[in-house]
Each structure stands twice: as structure tokens, then as C-alpha cells.
Amino acid sequence: MANKKIEKKDEVKKETKKTPRKTTGTKTTKSTTSKKSNTKTNASKKKTVKKVELEQIDNKIEEMLINETKPEQSIEEVKETKEKTKFGIFEYVLLLIIISLIFSLLGYFIGLKGNKSLDDNYVTVNKELREFIEEYNYILENYYGEVDESKLISNAIEGMLSTIDNYSGFIDNGSNNNSISLKGEYEGLGIGVLNNSDGNIVIATVYNDSPAYKVGIKVGDIVAKLNGEDLTGQDDSVLVDKIADLDNINLTIIRDGEELQFNLKKENVIIKSVTSEMLDGNIGYIQVSIFAENTDEQFQTALTNLENQNMQSLIIDLRGNGGGHLTTVKNMLSLFMNDTHVIYQTEDSDGIEKIYSTGTKDKDYKIVVLQDLGSASASEVMASALREQLNAYIVGNTSFGKGTVQTLRKVEGIGEYKVTTMKWLTSNGNWIDSNGITPDLEVSLTEDYYNNPTSENDNQLQAAINYLKEEN
């Protein structure tokens, strides 16, 4: 139940399908005298191949807008002009991205600025598109060295997103620990690692029922070798990278000065995001660390087990839970209330939509929610819905205050990014962004807890228990 977390790099972080790393090899210095004429000739050829014929792109976009062609059809038409325009693969990817943005912007202008004509919208967007492509071509044609076009495009997307808000941004698939955590499972050994003060790689986490757990690897073990290769003094990311490319793995572990050998094979590892127990006074306790894809199933199992033990009241601990999938929290809340209850609302350019519970009955026992500054997004959805719909009591600190929703987009061959597409409101229509949810009982953890993080020293938990005992 301790809420204090160890900051570490997890094996989960990189044991995914990796996108190719960029090549950053050393460049050979070229003579500026003997090869000057050849450089000009090559540059001229490069311009012929890379130059984007802007007038053709303008005509294609204008045709799409006037004929109201669907985006998917327009993209196929643009692909057929490859030989005419001399596009490379990355120019095509860039064009697909820009066309998507054009239609998004067009919908915005038509919906919110109806007084502007279609022609006005076209001219505005097309001018910006022309400027972007001109600069893109200039960089490709005039940069003195080789250009990684994939990185150029991904950085362009990242640059656009960086001007929007703090939650929109490009995601590096090679180190996307958060995405794996939200999925709730991954292919690996089931370990988390970090570097200790001596610079050695140390096992910081071992997931239950994982390959590492089954063979007896323990927290605190030092990873000395991987398949015979010495890892002494190496960064923990080296181990993570190498494991991602292997099937059969031998780890040489140092434990209490003794060298041990462990042979492992990667398996599907389920990340446990829910823990539970029955406290004195028939008070159920469920801690939720993240709202992953499989958290609702784990939560339902834990809740059912507690109710079968004659649970009289419930504490839901959302401290340090930064959020996750809205579908997951909707399923969890539907366990507590019938379908007449609004769970939360969303608002975008099309208006406000109310999201209802899919449950069949209301729970009649008392509920306390524990939260702190680290409770955000989906955690705030759950806390606010339980309070506004079932009079749940909130103990702890004011929550983070994240009232927006992000959508994940994938760009073939480059990666994926997330962009804020709407804001969410509480079931009563309140927007808590930047303000957070104020608890009914403000309680901060004491120094005793940080020095010795036990249930007895957890004064927030004890305050919740005392409240329920008084109410019962």
C-alpha cells in the first residue's frame, strides 16, 4: 500500500518493436578545391530529383476541395503522380500528413468561421503549405551534408505539436515505456533495472509469474553478464536494448558475492496494476496504479473477492496514478452505478457529449477515494464521478488537474504522436484543468511515512479508515 515509488528504468521501456535508429556515423571531410565543380553538378541533379512541383500540388489540393473528395481518395490520386512530381517516399509521407492537417483545419474554419468562404480558407491554408514545402526543399537541396529525411519529418511534426500544449507530442517507439504500461502486458523477462551508485546494473523490480520470477531472480541482484558479455559499468539501457533483440538469454547474476547463472526465454508478461486486501472492520482496500487496457478486469476481480468476504465499505487508492484509458475507467465506474448516471462529459468543436455508465445497479456501501498531486486525468474522472454521483468522500491532497484528452496517431515508417483532441468535464459539467479536485479532507503525508513507509505510518490511509469507522 505504500505510495512512495522508486524512479527506475524498466526493462519494459524498450522491449517493444523498435524503430530503426538513426545513423550518426562520422562524416569524411571533402576537399573544397578539387571537387568543387563536381559538387555543383551533383547539387543540380539533386535539385531536379527533390524539387516538389508546387503548382501541381496546389492544383491537386484545389481539386480536392472544390469537388469535396474524401481524404482517402485524394491520397491515392496524389500517389499516382509520383513519376510526374519525382517524389521520394518521405515527401509522400509529409504530403499525407499535410493533407490530413488541411482537412482538419478546413473543418475547423467551416464549423467555427462560417462567414469565411471556401476559397478564403483554401488560400490561407495553401499559402502556409507552400511556404513549408519551399523551406523543406531548400533544406534538402542546400544542406552541406546528408539529410536524414525521416528525422526531418518527425521533427517537423514534433515542432508543430510543441506549439499546441504540453500534452501533445511525438512518441519515440523505441523507448515508449508509457505505451507498454497502458497496454498492461508485454513480451519480455519481467524485470525492471537501474544503475546503482557503483555504476552496475541492478534488478529493481521482478513481476510476479514472469520468466525472471520463475527462475528465482531477485530484487537487488547485480547483472554482471548477458550471454557471456561483460556488463560491468554499463548503462542499464544497454541491457534493455540487447534483451529486446534476443530470444534465448543467459544472465550472470552476482548475489551476496556469489556468481549465479540463469537461463531465460521471453514470455508474455502481465503487468499488475491492481492490488487489494481486506482491512480491519471489513473495510476493503484497492490500489490502482494506472488505468491500463486490462486494469478494469483486474479491478473487477479484486472488487468481487472483497465483496464475497462481506466487505462493508471501500477505500480506492489513486495516489500517484497519472491516468490512462477512459474506456477502462468507464468500465470500472460502471461496476458502482446504473446506466442513469453520467460518468463524465467530453467537449470538442462539435459540442458536449455525456458519457453514461453501463452498469445495472448502485452500490450502497460507503466509498473513500485517496488522491494526491500525482492523481491525474482518468484518476480525476473516477474520483469526481464517485463523489458527484455516489457521494464518495475524498481524502488526501488536491489532484493534478488534467482536463484534456489525447488521441494517438501513427505515421507509417516514422512513428506515432499524440495530440490533444478534446477536453473532459466531470459528470456535473465542471472543468478541473489546472485546478484539480479539492479533497473533502485535506491530509498530507508526514515525515514519519517517508522515513518508514508502512500502513501504520500512512496518515492519509489512516484518516480514510477512521472516517469509514465513524460512518459505519
Residue 335 has pLDDT above 50, yes or no: yes
The pLDDT value given to residue 384: 98
Q: How confident is the model at residue 88 (pLDDT cuts 50, 70, 90)?
A: low
CA distance 171 to 470: 48
Pair 451, 387: CB distance under 8 Å: no
Q: Residue 424 to residues 77, 183, 295: CA-CA distances in angstroms? A: 38, 22, 21
More confident residue, 110 or 309: 309
Residue 429 has pLDDT above 80, yes or no: yes
The pLDDT value given to residue 90: 59
Name the active-site residue from 273, 371, 389, 406.
Answer: 406
Name the active-site residue from 402, 418, 427, 460.
Answer: 402
Q: Which residue has the cell 504540453?
A: 166
Residue 89 has pLDDT above 60, yes or no: no
Rounded to an integer, the average pLDDT of 3-23 is 40
274-471 has which CATH code? 3.90.226.10
Q: Is 14 a catalytic residue?
A: no
CA distance 370 to 441: 10
Name the active-site residue from 74, 210, 313, 377.
Answer: 377
Residue 416 has pLDDT above 90, yes or no: no
Q: Is 377 a catalytic residue?
A: yes
Rounded to an integer, the average pLDDT of 441-459 is 94
Of the candidates 376, 12, 383, 410, the residue with the CA atom closest to the CA atom of residue 167: 376
Residue 64 has pLDDT above 60, yes or no: no
The pLDDT value given to residue 106: 53
The pLDDT value given to residue 39: 42
pLDDT one-digit tens code per residue, 373-389: 999 999 999 999 999 99
The pLDDT value given to residue 468: 97
pLDDT one-digit tens code per residue, 192-244: 888 888 889 999 888 888 999 999 999 999 999 999 999 998 988 889 889 98
pLDDT one-digit tens code per residue, 237-270: 889 889 988 988 999 999 999 999 999 999 999 9
CA distance 461 to 375: 15
Q: How confident is the model at residue 86 (pLDDT cuts 50, 70, 90)?
A: very low
Q: Is 36 a catalytic residue?
A: no
Instruction: State percent of the chain over pLDDT 90.
Output: 50
Residue 84 has pLDDT above 50, yes or no: no
Grid coordinates in use for 344?
463524465
Rounded to an integer, the average pLDDT of 391-398 is 98
Residue 26 has pLDDT above 60, yes or no: no
- The chain-wide mean pLDDT, for the chain, equals 80
The pLDDT value given to residue 99: 64
- Domain locations in the chain as residue ranges: 9-17+178-270, 36-164, 274-471
More confident residue, 421 or 1: 421
The pLDDT value given to residue 97: 67
| Fold of domain 9-17+178-270 | Pdz3 Domain (2.30.42)
pLDDT one-digit tens code per residue, 33-61: 333 344 444 444 444 444 444 545 555 54
The pLDDT value given to residue 59: 52
Element (H, E) at 404: strand 404-411
Q: What amino acid occupies position 369?
A: V
Residue 20 has pLDDT above 90, yes or no: no
